[in-house]
Structure 1
Amino acid sequence: MHSPAPLDAALVQRLVDTQFPQWSSLGIRQVVPGGWDNRTFRLGDDLLVRLPSADGYAAAVAKEQQWLPVIAAHVGLQIPEPVGRGAPTAEFPRPWSVYRWIDGESSANAPIEDLTAFALDVAGFLSELVRCDAAGGPAAGDHSFHRGAHPRFYDAEVQRSLERLEDVIDTTAARRVWDAALRTRITAPPVWFHGDIAPGNLLVRGGRLAAVIDFGTSGVGDPACDLAIAWTMFDEPARVAFRDALGWSEDVWARGRAWALWKAMLLAAGDAGAHDPAAEARSARDVIARILADAP
């Protein structure tokens, strides 16, 4: 049995040479950090290649190829533009994509002069996104890792995290936040959601939000999952401005807190994949503290 080929520049060069020979001379270099769900490579100066890092992420390729052009027509910020779809091969048995390169620096690293203005930019993008025509769009499910569904899908994980974090966080308060979300019902019509509105997927130019990338967990459903950034990145003034600009109901915000809490507790308990588990666990505990302090 052959070992899978490493996801490196040499593999990408072979894939491009075979399937997109018109770009074979452009040169390839890996983007660092290259992401968790996908590995990203520059292809010349104007293109990039994204390869799913595991089978569970492969479904996003067809979804993004089909729906990103539809969404792009209705949002003001730049989003990824697919220009080629690679076929699976014996060496790399998953579909893959070629996109236009978008200039910008990850908001996880870029200096942001006015966090409240940045939060308002994010709210503006989300407001445009939920107004996109959702007819025929992919309903929340396995392809979105159930983002866009009710957070109760992850109740078993949350209960395990609460047990593991009993002496680490205020689990009584965390249970109140989670239980408040479980009591809500999704009654609004399904809308487009991004699924991973996080600093690494928000690109900054000149201190302002310029682009939103990585729609691999996007779909049509409940947009509450896109609120997690209110606690993972924003301070209180930015969070208040973000909430006021969106105008979404308290039930949606209750589910948004739950989505943020679910992921933060997984990280704090060491049960989620992380590049730097110790550092991300510390950061996750800070996020949990903000969520609990902000809860009604």
Structure 2
Amino acid sequence: MHEGQLSVTAETVRGLVDAQFPRWRGLPIRRVDGAGTVNAIFRIGAGLVARLPLRGGEVDATWRELRAEQAAARELAGRTGFPTPEPVALGEPGAGYPLPWAVQTWLRGVVATEQDPGGSVAFAHDLAAFIGAVRAIDTRGRTFDGHGRGGELRTHDRWLATCFERSAGLLDVPVLRRMWDRMRELPRGTAADVMNHGDLIPGNVLVSDGRLTGVIDVGGAGPADPALDLVGAWHLLDPGPRRVLRDRLDCDDRTWERGRAWAFQQAMGLVWYYAETNPVMSRTGRRTLDRIAQDIPG
């Protein structure tokens, strides 16, 4: 999926686990197939999961990233009303793998890419409860750190220009450009940063029978625009349940429109970037853009 992507096998993980965590030597190692794009995922026995970064990078920088992710996971653990992964350990480079890696608890459930909860009103209520609980966590005076989504929309102009260029032949780019021209001007106003999960896409949401059963990939949680987690309204919900989510969170027009803009910014990158290498992610982006277009055609 990525240039210079690292190759990780079950044998590699077996070697890492046996050398560094001998108490788990007797536990089976099994790759988890899915649409994830950042880490190779392997189960360790029934209750643990190893996450190994797929993109090459500097060892020290990866240590910092993994420690930050674990800190974010600890902030959410037990505070949202829904299961989220909890940090267990950090592993060192070894067995032919060049970077640090992480172990966390395994959550049971089916990702929303496999069981679509889009038409479920009950799921919309659950998602609103999760977003509200995350927002209620104290930022401890922190604000958006400037990385990724969650600051000012217009700072993503260069990325969107790349997306429009690469999406020629895949999407109706002139229409999408006009949408972004309006979205990028949406004012942030004086709304203070609040805690967000930061990546509420279907692959990070666990469901069962139309209900939310857990949320994974929580390492990016942190202070950001209060509208950021509203991306789930378009990534995950059909129009009726989407309205339920909005009403439950009591969203004003300005916040709701920014949430839609953040969903647009994310979806535009999914379609072309993963068109050949991760069709599930590419289709996720297309569906989100279709839902947005139904809200604001042309």
TM-score range, shorter chain: 0.7 to 0.9
Distance 1:229 1:122 in 2: 8
CA distance in 1, matches of 2:107, 2:83: 8
Look up the equivalent residue of 2:50 and give its one-letter code: V
Change in Cα spacing, 1:254 to 1:236, as seen in structure 2 (3 Å) is same
Output one character per residue of 1:78-119: Cα deviation in whole Å (capped at 9) or x when no partner. 000111111234833322111111111111112649512111
Mean Cα deviation higher: 5-14 or 125-134: 5-14
Alignment of 1:269-284 (within 5 A): 270=272, 272-274=273-275, 276=277, 284=285
The 1:282/1:31 distance shift into structure 2, 3 A limit, reads: closer
Counterparts of 1:106 and 1:126 in 2: how far apart (Å)?
18
CA contact (8 A) 1:186 1:222 kept: no
Aligned residue number for residue 254 of structure 1: 257
Larger CA deviation: 286-295 vs 102-111:
286-295
Change (3 A) 1:92 1:101: same
2 CA distance for matches of 1:86 and 1:133? 30
**Residue in structure 1 matched with residue 267 of structure 2 by the alignment:** 264
Moved more, 69-78 or 257-266: 257-266
Name the structure 2 match of 1:40.
41
**Would the aligned equivalents of 1:228 and 1:257 in 2 still touch at CA under 8 Å?**
yes
| Letter of the 1:72 counterpart | A
In structure 2, C-alpha distance between the alignment counterparts of 1:289 and 1:69, rounded to whole Å = 35
Q: For the Cα contact (< 8 Å) 1:4–1:91, is it kept in 2?
A: no
- Could you say which residue in structure 1 is the equivalent of 2:211? 208
Structure 1 distance, partners of 2:115, 2:283, is: 21
Aligned to 2:32: 31
Q: Which residue of 2 aligns with 1:118?
A: 123
Contact 2:91 2:102 in 1 (8 A): yes
Aligned to 2:90: 85
Q: Residue deviations 1:241-277, cap 9 Å, x none?
A: 1111112332222222222222333344x2x235656
The structure-2 alpha-carbon separation of the partners of 1:243 and 1:174, relative to structure 1 and needing over 3 Å to count, comes to farther
TM-score normalised by L of structure 1: 0.85
Give the 4+ runs in structure 1 shifted more than 6 A. Answer: none
CA deviations 1:105-149 (Å, max 9, x no partner) are: 11111264951211121111000001101116574333xxx1222
| TM-score, L = length of structure 2 | 0.84
Structure 1 gaps of 5+ residues are none
Match of 1:224 among 222, 227, 242: 227
Q: 1:275 to 1:71 in 2, by over 3 A?
A: farther
CA distance in structure 2 between the aligned counterparts of 1:34 and 1:163, rounded to whole angstroms: 24
Mean Cα deviation higher: 81-90 or 234-243: 81-90
Aligned to 1:101: 106
Could you tell me how far 1:231 is from its partner in structure 2?
1.8
Q: Please give the alpha-carbon distance, in whole angstroms, between the structure 1 residues aligned to 2:279 and 2:38.
A: 20
8 Å Cα contact 2:79/2:133 also seen in 1? yes
The 3-state SS of whatever aligns with 1:40 is strand
Q: Retained in 1: the 8 A contact 2:30–2:44?
A: yes
Q: What value does the CA root-mean-square deviation take over the aligned residues?
A: 2.9
> Unpaired segments of 5 or more residues in structure 2?
none
Match of 1:71 in 2: 76
Q: Are 1:242 and 2:240 counterparts?
A: no
Deviates more, 1:57-66 or 1:15-24: 57-66
* 1:179 positional shift: 2.4
Q: Which AA in structure 1 matches 2:263?
A: A
